[in-house]
Amino acid sequence: MSGQKHGPVYGRVALIGLGLIASSMFWAMKRAGLAGEVTGYARSAETRATARRIGLCDRVCDSAQEAVQDADLVVLCVPVGAMGPVMEDIAPLLKPGATVSDVGSVKRHVIDAVQPHIPEGVHFVPAHPLAGTEHSGPESGFSELFDNRWSLLVPVEGTDPDATARLRALWEGMGANVDEMDADHHDLVLAVTSHTPHLIAYTMVGVADDLRRVTDSEVIKYSAAGFRDFTRIAASDPTMWRDVFLTNKDATLEILGRFTEELFALQRAIRTGDGEHLHDYFTRTRAIRRGIIEAGQDTDAPDFGRGQKK
């Protein structure tokens, strides 16, 4: 899929919020010629100035209202907690027949916050691309971000199938594989595969930072031994992640509860010297890794984490 030239899927696309995902969408749409014109808006004047400087979006607008005018597709690329207010703001200016989508990491909350403001005759197709880096801001995007990654569409009841199909074509054109999923199931799956792991990584990095007897420079110097992957995860955008945890509270707390339960069982095995329990557990977790490699979501190169990343 990647690198191929498509015809335009939408005449005009408006990106509201110009961070990592929106800027990657812009470059990915340009790469494949998926949109006639892309407008963009960011709340911060500094972000808008940066976007203009680096040619991010065909036209950077000074208001969200201006950006969405005549847009066939409006994509909300703001933190999950800001989706509702932004939607309320732009609702009166949406073109009849337009589609509103988003890229939020939580879907039930976004649907509850956005759906009530969707005008009659406008389609709403929530989405979530499972792709990211630890970087944020308008300069962090790149056209390959979505290549061979999943983008989940979470259509709400009554969504026009044609609107969903068109959004699917856009994501496929940007290199992604597309699946559809129910909102509540999405939030649970993401709590397991993303939200709870992030919280845990943040916590572990915080513990290291707190510990007086191990200096920061030691933590940093010797991070290659496992900790480095945690710091990478824990470097993601704080506002985005705050909103994720506040809005996917129930699923995150449930998975955290299970996590604590299992951790306590392993902790007890360490305390009592139960090597068999530890060995069995560590053997079982290995299989999951093999599944991921077979599913093509990572490489099996023997020097992981050390080679140059292109």
Considering only residues 178 through 197, tell me which ones interact with a second copy, judged by CB under 8 A.
Answer: 179, 185, 188-190, 192-197
For a second copy, the closer CB: 63 or 267 = 267
The residue count for binding a second copy (CB under 8 A) is 115
Closer residue to a second copy, CB minimum distance, 34 or 255: 255
The piece of 25-33, 34-42, 67-75, 127-135 that touches a second copy (CB under 8 A) is 127-135
Phi, psi of 184 (to 5 degrees): -65, -40
Residues 6+ apart with CB under 8 A from 184: 108
- Does position 3 bind a second copy by CB under 8 A? no
For the bound state, the minimum distance from the C-beta of residue 122 to a second copy, rounded and expressed in Å, comes to 29
Residue 41 engages a second copy in binding (rule: CB under 8 A) = no
Rule CB under 8 A: say whether 242 interacts with a second copy.
yes
Closer Cβ to a second copy, 97 or 292, answer by number: 292
Task: Please give the Cα distance from 153 to 88 (Å, whole number).
Answer: 22
Q: What is the DSSP string of 177-202?
A: EEEE--HHHHHHHHIIIIIHHHHHHH
DSSP state at residue 128:
E
Window 80-109: residues binding a second copy (CB under 8 A):
81, 105
Q: Which of residues 253-272 bind a second copy (CB under 8 A)?
A: 253, 255-256, 258-260, 262-263, 266-267, 269-271
DSSP 8-state class, residue 92:
G
Taking CB under 8 A as the criterion, which residues in 128-187 touch a second copy?
A: 130-135, 140, 142, 144-145, 147, 149-150, 152, 179, 185
54 is an interface residue for a second copy by CB under 8 A: no
Q: Select the residue interacting with a second copy from 11, 97, 116, 305 (CB under 8 A).
A: 305
State which residue, 57 or 199, has the beta carbon closest to a second copy: 199
307 binds a second copy (CB under 8 A): yes
| 145, 168, 249, 258 alpha-carbon torsion, rounded to 10° | -80
For the stretch 52-81, what's the b/e string if a residue is b when 16 or more beta carbons lie within 10 angstroms of its beta carbon?
Answer: eeeebbeebbeebeebbeebbbbbbbbbbb
13: phi then psi, degrees, rounded to nearest 5: -120, 135
CA pseudo-torsion sign 194, 179, 142, 60: negative
Beta-ladder partners of 151: 129, 178
Helix orientation angle between 20-32 and 161-173, rounded to the nearest 10 degrees = 80
Closer of 53 and 290 to a second copy (Cβ): 290
Our finding on whether 220 is near a second copy (CB under 8 A) is yes
Choose the stretch contacting a second copy; rule: CB under 8 A; options: 35-43, 59-67, 84-92, 212-220: 212-220
306 binds a second copy (CB under 8 A): yes
Name the region of 131 (left: φ>0; alpha: ψ -120 to 50; beta: rest): beta
With binding defined as CB under 8 A, does residue 229 bind a second copy?
yes
Q: Does 200 bind a second copy (CB under 8 A)?
A: yes
With tokens 């509270």, the residue in question is 249
